Amino acid sequence: MKVLILGGVAAGTKAAAKIKRQDQSADVTILVKDRDISYAGCGLPYYVGGLIETRDELIVNTPQKYTALTGAKVLTGREAVGLNAAAKTVTAKNLTSGETETYEYDSLIIATGASSVIPPIEGAAQQGVFKLRTPDDAIALRGYLEQNAAKNAVVIGGGFIGLEAAENLLTQGLNVTVLDVAGQIMPGVLDEEMAGFARKKLQAAGIRVMTGTAAQAILGDGRVTAVKTEAGTLPADVVVVSAGIRPNTAFLEGSGLEMVKGTIPVDGQLRTNLPDVYAAGDCALVTNRLTGAAQWSPMGSSANMEGRTLAMALTGENKRYPGVLGTGVVKLPGLNCGRTGLTEAAARQAGYDVVTALMVSDDKAHYYPDSAWFATKLIADKATHKLLGIQVLGPGAVDKMVDIAVTGISMGAALEDFDNLDLAYAPPFSTAIHPFVQAVYLLENKLEGKIASITPAEYQAGAAKGYRVVDAAPAPAVHGATFVQLETLNGPVEGLDKDDKLLIVCSKGKRAYFMQNRLRSYGYTNTLVLEGATFFNDVRVESVGAKVSPAEVTRVKALGFLWDKRTPDKFNGRVITRNGKLTAAEQMAVAQAAEKFGSGEVTMTSRLTLEIQGVPFSNIEPLREYLLNAGLEMGGTGSKVRPVVSCKGTTCQYGLIDTFDLSQEIHERFYKGYHEVKLPHKFKIAVGGCPNNCVKPDLNDLGVIGQRIPQIQLDKCRGCKVCQIEETCPIHVAKMENGKIHIDPEACNHCGRCVGKCPFKAVEDHIDGYRIYIGGRWGKKVAQGRYLDKVFTDRQEVLDVIEKAILLFREQGITAERFADTVARIGFEEVQRQLLDSGLLARKQENLAAQKHMKGGATC
């Protein structure tokens, strides 16, 4: 039997290896276009992020190694260009010699895979624009990042690969924005409310997500500098395009092979419409295992199984490929996402009478040190109780939840079949009743009427309008809701009529269910439990004028909202503005947000942060969501590193350093990077472009000031009666002494204005650098910072000193004292010694992991 296989990677190599194991006499030849026959395509983003260090780790097999292992012949550099099914031949171009070659076959397997689609965006051919499909793509991208010191990345496409790329670019220290023209991330993979929750987690991790936004053009002059979108222009040093893939089947046009949008329909034995021609992998159109409908599912896992099944069928075994469920799992920063089966939308479209349930549960014993949570959505058929799909989000092992569902769906299981599954339990691994089974119980209770609930999707659609919100948390947690203490509920509740429409909420859902059960027994007939509770949903109560609890005031202050004490329920929300530097589109978004969610007024703080005034408590979450979609963050309060402030830098006539660039790097590394690190008090950083100190760096906890140190060449000094250097010096420390110019190095403030002023070039050279002040403060107690003795000439060293100052404050500061107090208590000389030493960085992880139990001292 002569088997010709077009394409390697997953399906092709798996089929070839299995054919040779089944029948050693088979003559198997693989033609591949590239030099690599088999590589870890799913590992490419992690090579970009540095988790996979070398190219060799991505290569599963070389042609030589593969041939030695399997006996199949491999010919690289051959691109298939035509198929003659009647003659049973394939023509291919030898990419080395340029000649056309003809190959005969008894059986042909088309496993040519798919390639990334680059949308027709103006400027997409520039340097710095990448796709991520092959090892060479990943190598080129990582190399470009390293060689060009890229800071800003835009990822076009919010699917699995795009989001994995975004996570790994974030890991490399870039400021990352994800664009998707769809109204959500992972369209078709997750239902809208699950995608919305995942998006919030991504944004909290530092990835800017803009949905419903198309990339209009990639800007630059041969090298990318920005991406123009409908929502404004985004700075970009690198662009990753992950906007979909297209099957590599164009060469088959006119061959008689049936194709659907470039994919090749196959039956259960991977046969096409042409005799002895088969297809597998990313170019094949298989079926959905649940519905039987055609489904394209280009995944490495299914490609391998298709290749193996096809090989067994070709060698005489009665094997059939049952189709796909669309199973997938993706690692995101601080969040994993898994799914299989039908989404709710797809199940309804397929004609099922759909019922869903969403449950937030512990992922393992709650007392175990690294316990976290799962947010699990189950989709089932109301009539048969058959499980149709699952979507799971959480920091931990979401794959085990998905794998249970895959097994059940594949075996046609109904919900009741999961009730008493003897699944593995020990505190480090699971809960006593498995989280999957807990979610099944919720859905069964819902079907049996034991719980009346509303899903997050229904809540977002307004299905709870007219319901009175009852707060079932241990302590009041929902502003404006009616709080009822579950533990003391032993009869009708004063103020609640038994016919009232009540929406019961708690933190995760369990207490709300308990309360509904108890209220029912007391005659309350119209209650709903909110699935996912406040953990998953933004619960808002229309309660104008209701006083906000102190706990809620504290909570939203951490989000950047400061209570207007003249009102019971209004707040001023701080918008992080990158030193007051906003795009026109961002400024419009702020203005529109102020009109829509606040009083219509916008003020500017002394630290160049915008505040939207008069935001009712119930509008806080909608405002944050609105601005996040415009790429803007809110925050900048609490006992943490605060947003950086800077002067105009080199756009000012006296500016010596690019303050916007430096302060942006400080912002990303310390405001964002240390956002979850609690300090004894707030820590303010200012960057000044010159010793004029316009933004008062010396009155901040830490200040950086640009320096230009003049270098005098006395042999060129002519001892002029009117010295231009002396005349230029704004602080009069440059003086003629004994017929030569002298600048007192202790008195000079290094403004650099004297440089280049001598007509004889006595002060022509200079050294650019930075001076660092520590321990300044403005407010109730004013303290002037003192600068470190060293003038720094290396920017990285400046960043390291800033980090060491923050670490020192966390390690040695006392709750509620400012950094100035810490410096005064320890002593400037000792603090300076530590900031110039490496010890603080050496014990960084130990410091950050320490349970300091700080209360913090910042009140605004």
Catalytic residues: 42
- H/E run at residue 16: helix 11-22
* Nearest one of 405, 440, 414, 380 to 325, comparing CA atoms: 405
Query: For the residues of 391-445, what is the DSSP string, one character each?
Result: EEEESS-HHHHHHHHHHHHHTT-BGGGGTT------TTT--SS-HHHHHHHHHHH
Report the SS3 class of residue 679. coil
Q: How far apart are CA 512 and CA 506, in angstroms?
A: 6
Q: How far apart are CA 184 and CA 176, in angstroms?
A: 17
By the 10 Å C-beta count (0-12 exposed, 13-18 middle, 19+ buried), 477 is classed as: buried
Q: How far apart are CA 778 and CA 695, in angstroms?
A: 12
Cβ contact 307:11 at 8 Å: yes
Q: What token pair was written down for 160?
A: 């699995």
Q: What token pair was written down for 656?
A: 């010596």
Q: What token pair was written down for 403?
A: 């794998």
Rounding to the nearest 10 degrees, give the CA dihedral for residues 116, 122, 124, 126: 170
Q: How far apart are CA 790 and CA 799, in angstroms?
A: 14
Residues 6+ apart with CB under 8 A from 661: 649
Report the SS3 class of residue 164. helix
Cβ contact 376:439 at 8 Å: yes
* Nearest one of 268, 269, 266, 267 to 283, comparing CA atoms: 266
Q: How far apart are CA 252 and CA 283, in angstroms?
A: 12
* Nearest one of 447, 440, 522, 203 to 333, comparing CA atoms: 203
DSSP symbol at 121 = -
Q: What token pair was written down for 528?
A: 């709903």
Residues 6+ apart with CB under 8 A from 565: none
DSSP symbol at 549 = P
By the 10 Å C-beta count (0-12 exposed, 13-18 middle, 19+ buried), 822 is classed as: buried
Q: How do strand 468-471 and strand 502-505 relate by DSSP bridges? A: parallel
* Nearest one of 388, 423, 422, 429 to 408, comparing CA atoms: 388
* Nearest one of 174, 168, 197, 170 to 185, comparing CA atoms: 197
Chain centroid offset of residue 694 CA: 36
CA-angle at 590, arms to 584 and 595, nearest 5°: 125
- Quickly count: other Cβ atoms within 10 Å of residue 422's Cβ: 6
Q: How far apart are CA 733 and CA 727, in angstroms?
A: 10
Q: How far apart are CA 77 and CA 93, in angstroms?
A: 8
Q: How far apart are CA 705 and CA 694, in angstroms?
A: 10
Paired strand residues for 39 = 59
Quick one: residue 156, left, alpha or beta (phi over 0 = left, psi -120 to 50 = alpha)? beta
Q: What stretches of 618-683 adopt beta strand conformation (E)?
A: 645-646
By the 10 Å C-beta count (0-12 exposed, 13-18 middle, 19+ buried), 143 is classed as: exposed
- Quickly count: other Cβ atoms within 10 Å of residue 692's Cβ: 16
Q: How far apart are CA 700 and CA 67, in angstroms?
A: 66
Q: How do strand 284-287 and strand 264-265 relate by DSSP bridges? A: parallel
Rg (CA), the chain: 32
